[in-house]
């Protein structure tokens, strides 16, 4: 550990987006050799505070000091010069997929180098030495396009260290990771803490913070409403600070009324799936549990007709059926809400009305003309029904929080009255309040007789929400049980293959 530990202090930081104040006199500190959690509901101001640290919000007001010297963070170059590095949740935007691991690690140095030729042998040697110090097993010659998401995160952390990082900000680093990948990442965070780095950890997974962080700050509506030692507050206390009220029950009570089978497949296969047998009933929430790479996303996309599949037998509402294409599936009352909602589930740069009418099959068209007034009326109705927090139906979707974007991704299927919902990691990257609201929406759909397939690596929510749970491992269905007969430990053993007693 360095003899002199770095320290960063933000005092009275405010930030406006137009007439909207998103940060209001916020204080925040980072100290070397410690991890400071930053939490808050979607829209609380976390991303705005991170953007100030990243140097992309020049118009902030307030005072920032590093090692007791006042600094200005008005550009990304300035922040890097002060040793501040941010690893964003969307890791691909910071990487060049066609370049190797070694080249991406050295990208900052390459960008500022005046040398005419690169010493690639030296780049590879330095990359190997750095990765070995961090105990990261990455092939320095592998193109980044062939890395997993967890490996890309590791690479960005390595790049930060190669560039002289003193303050490391991790934005939702565990959101897309399974349990094993999360453990490895948190172990790396602990190592960097021991080496004297000052680390900010932004996360919606509150249960991870207790064992990873030393201090915690909670933002609500652009203000810091709590800061203190991690050991002095419970997970329930954090949630209550985030919401400004008592949390209550996370999972809504519902009257289970499972009806006839809606969707049945036997022997479903594609390039990843290996003979899946599955049945989904009306009024049922069927969980699909699995670690990263188990085949959850592939199953959802196969059932929706995104990928080419083979199956021994299939039926939809009792009639012979097979998945053929997304267009045909949507016409058959099947809806998909994919894991990557921003790139696959919605048009992020379009407005709320456009997104809520994406799946409309001619409902707003008359004589070849689109009825914009009717579309906006439907959008306002859906906004009210799902509790979507938007200023108005014409607001760009990109301005909504992650939880509200997810509601829009579901709401676009309500117009055509879909009967089967395929949800792939639906709570990824959304806060605890948004999760509560999403669970309530799904329960409402189930009670209306819809069939919901809920694929997730968050085993606690599967246990709290689902009627039955199927477990996928390496593209195979290895278990199927009533949710009430399972617990998190049992699911983890089944998903990892540690126990084959089903």
At 104-119, the pLDDT tens digits run 999 887 777 666 667 8
Q: What does the DSSP 8-state code read for residue 430? A: -
Domain assignment of residue 467, given as a range: 260-496
Same-domain pairing of 467 and 331: yes
Q: Is residue 251 part of a domain?
A: no
Q: Is residue 13 part of a domain?
A: yes
End-to-end CA distance of the chain: 48
Same-domain pairing of 52 and 197: yes
Give, for all 502 residues of the chain, the pLDDT tens digit: 556 899 999 999 999 987 788 999 999 999 999 999 999 887 789 989 999 999 999 899 999 999 999 999 999 999 999 999 999 877 888 899 999 999 999 988 777 766 666 788 999 999 999 999 998 989 999 999 998 888 899 999 999 999 999 999 999 888 777 777 888 899 999 999 999 999 999 988 888 888 899 999 999 989 999 999 999 999 889 988 988 877 667 788 877 788 999 999 999 999 889 999 999 999 999 999 998 778 999 999 999 999 999 999 999 999 999 999 999 999 999 999 988 877 788 898 899 999 998 887 667 777 777 888 889 999 999 998 888 888 899 999 988 877 788 889 888 888 878 899 999 988 887 778 778 888 988 999 999 999 999 999 888 899 999 999 999 999 999 999 999 999 888 888 898 887 444 4
Same-domain pairing of 168 and 39: yes
Same-domain pairing of 297 and 320: yes
Same-domain pairing of 325 and 204: no
Domain boundary among 215, 246, 277: 246
Domain boundary among 207, 224, 246: 246
Same-domain pairing of 134 and 195: yes
Q: What domain count does the chain have?
A: 2
Helical spans, DSSP H, in 175-234: 179-194, 206-212
Q: Is 445 helix (H, G, I), strand (E, B) or coil?
A: helix
Each residue of 304-342: pLDDT tens digit?
A: 999 999 999 999 999 999 999 999 999 999 999 988 877
Q: Are 330 and 416 in contact (CB under 8 A)?
A: yes
Same-domain pairing of 209 and 179: yes
Same-domain pairing of 106 and 24: yes
Same-domain pairing of 282 and 332: yes
Q: What does the DSSP 8-state code read for residue 404? A: H
CA dist., res. 282 & res. 260, Å (int): 6
The residues, any chain, with a CB within 8 Å of residue 236's CB and separated by 6 or more, are 247
Identify the H or E element spanning 335.
strand 334-337
Determine the distance from the C-alpha atom of residue 158 to the mean position of all C-alpha atoms in its chain, rounded to a whole number: 22
- Residue 371: per-residue pLDDT: 84
Q: Are 434 and 404 in contact (CB under 8 A)?
A: yes
Q: Is residue 252 part of a domain?
A: no
Among 397, 417, 394, which Cα is nearest to 407's?
Answer: 397
Please give the biggest Cα pair distance in the chain: 75
Domain at 362, CATH number: 3.40.50.300
Radius of gyration of the chain (CA): 24
Q: Is residue 217 part of a domain?
A: yes
Same-domain pairing of 146 and 65: yes
Q: Is residue 270 part of a domain?
A: yes
Same-domain pairing of 294 and 233: no
Q: Is residue 185 part of a domain?
A: yes
Q: Are 203 and 22 in contact (CB under 8 A)?
A: no
Same-domain pairing of 276 and 215: no
Instruction: Give me the phi and psi of 17, to 5 degrees please.
Output: -110, 100
Q: Is residue 2 part of a domain?
A: no
Residue 343 to residues 327, 340, 409, 475, 487: CA-CA distances in angstroms? 18, 6, 11, 24, 33
Residue 215, number of CB atoms within 10 A of its CB: 19
Domain boundary among 221, 246, 271: 246
Q: Is residue 501 part of a domain?
A: no
Tokens 């519902």 appear where? 254
């Amino acid at each position: 550990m360095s003899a002199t530990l770095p320290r960063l202090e933000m005092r009275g930081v405010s930030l406006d987006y137009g007439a909207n104040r998103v940060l209001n006199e916020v204080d925040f500190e980072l100290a070397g050799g410690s991890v400071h959690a930053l939490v808050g509901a979607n829209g609380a101001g976390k991303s705005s505070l991170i953007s100030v640290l990243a140097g992309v919000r020049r118009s902030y007001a307030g005072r920032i000091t590093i090692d007791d010297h006042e600094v200005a963070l008005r550009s990304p170059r300035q922040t890097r010069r002060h040793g501040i590095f941010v690893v964003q949740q969307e890791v691909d935007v910071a990487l060049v997929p066609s370049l190797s691991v070694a080249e991406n690690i050295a990208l900052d140095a390459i960008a500022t180098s005046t040398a005419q030729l690169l010493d690639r042998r030296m780049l590879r040697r330095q990359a190997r030495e750095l990765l070995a110090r961090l105990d990261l097993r990455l092939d320095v010659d592998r193109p980044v396009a062939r890395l997993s998401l967890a490996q890309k995160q590791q690479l960005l952390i390595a790049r930060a260290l190669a560039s002289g990082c003193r303050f490391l900000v991790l934005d939702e680093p565990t959101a897309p990771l399974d349990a094993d990948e999360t453990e490895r990442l948190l172990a790396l965070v602990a190592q960097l803490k021991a080496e004297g780095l000052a680390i900010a950890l932004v996360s919606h997974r509150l249960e991870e913070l207790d064992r990873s962080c030393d201090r915690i700050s909670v933002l609500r509506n652009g203000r810091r409403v709590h800061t203190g030692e991690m050991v002095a507050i419970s997970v329930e206390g954090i949630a209550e600070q985030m919401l400004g009220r008592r949390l209550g029950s996370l999972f809504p009570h519902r009257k289970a009324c499972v009806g006839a089978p809606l969707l049945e497949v036997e022997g479903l296969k594609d390039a990843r799936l290996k003979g899946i047998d599955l049945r989904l009933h009306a009024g049922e929430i069927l969980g699909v549990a699995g670690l990263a790479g188990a085949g959850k996303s592939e199953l959802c996309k196969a059932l929706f007709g995104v990928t080419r599949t083979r199956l021994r037998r299939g039926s939809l509402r009792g009639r012979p059926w097979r998945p053929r294409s997304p267009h045909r599936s949507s016409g058959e009352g099947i809806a998909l809400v994919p894991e990557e909602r921003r790139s696959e589930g919605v048009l992020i740069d379009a407005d709320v009305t456009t997104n809520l009418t994406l799946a409309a099959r001619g409902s707003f068209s008359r004589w070849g003309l689109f009825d914009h007034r009717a579309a906006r009326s439907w959008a306002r109705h859906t906004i009210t029904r799902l509790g979507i927090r938007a200023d108005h139906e014409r607001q760009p979707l990109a301005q909504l929080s992650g939880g509200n974007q997810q509601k829009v991704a579901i709401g676009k299927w309500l117009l055509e009255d879909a009967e089967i919902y395929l949800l792939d990691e639906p709570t990824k990257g959304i806060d605890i309040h948004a999760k509560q609201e999403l669970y309530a929406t799904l329960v409402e759909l189930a009670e209306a007789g819809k069939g919901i397939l809920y694929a997730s690596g968050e085993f606690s929510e599967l246990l709290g929400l689902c009627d039955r749970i199927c477990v996928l491992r390496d593209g195979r269905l290895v278990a199927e049980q009533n949710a009430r007969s399972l617990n998190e430990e049992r699911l983890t053993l089944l998903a990892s293959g540690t126990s084959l007693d089903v």
